């Protein structure tokens, strides 16, 4: 594998992982009856609609059918991809929940 092929493979891997991060975020929002697009807009008000988020929303399942997405997991993947602003907004939403409902 030459350098260009390796670079392309790394970029594709990053994109796949980034899509997974967005899906984790979107499903976490659905599970907690939150609007993923609204939270995203709160974190990044100057950005237009996020096409990747829209695609991820098509892959989410209803809360009743979804597996649990722990708060630590969504915060971890957001931080891993440098989405500190969005992680901050998610943390604010977590803090709004009664203590007994926090994961």
Q: What pLDDT score was predicted for residue 15?
A: 87
Cα Rg for the chain, rounded, in angstroms? Answer: 15
In this prediction, residue 101 has a pLDDT band, given cuts at 50, 70 and 90, of low
Whole-model pTM: value is 0.87
Per DSSP, the three-state class of 47 is: coil
**Cβ of 55: how many Cβ atoms within 10 Å?**
13
Residue 73 contacts by C-beta under 8 Å, 6 or more apart in sequence? 24, 28
Q: What is the pLDDT of residues 13-70, one digit of tens each?
A: 888 899 999 999 999 999 999 999 999 999 999 988 889 999 999 999 999 999 999 9
Per domain, the residue ranges of the chain are 3-101
**Cβ of 15: how many Cβ atoms within 10 Å?**
11
How much helix, strand and coil, in percent to the nearest 5, is found in the chain?
75, 0, 25
């Amino acid at each position: 594998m030459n350098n260009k092929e390796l670079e392309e493979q790394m970029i594709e891997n990053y994109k796949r992982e980034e899509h997974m991060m967005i899906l984790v975020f979107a499903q976490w929002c659905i599970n907690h009856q939150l609007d993923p697009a609204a939270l995203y807009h709160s974190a990044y008000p100057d950005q237009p609609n996020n096409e990747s988020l829209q695609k991820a929303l098509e892959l989410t399942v209803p809360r009743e059918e979804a597996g649990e997405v722990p708060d630590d997991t969504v915060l971890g993947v957001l931080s891993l991809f440098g989405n500190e602003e969005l992680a901050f907004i998610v943390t604010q939403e977590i803090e709004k929940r009664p203590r007994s409902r926090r994961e």
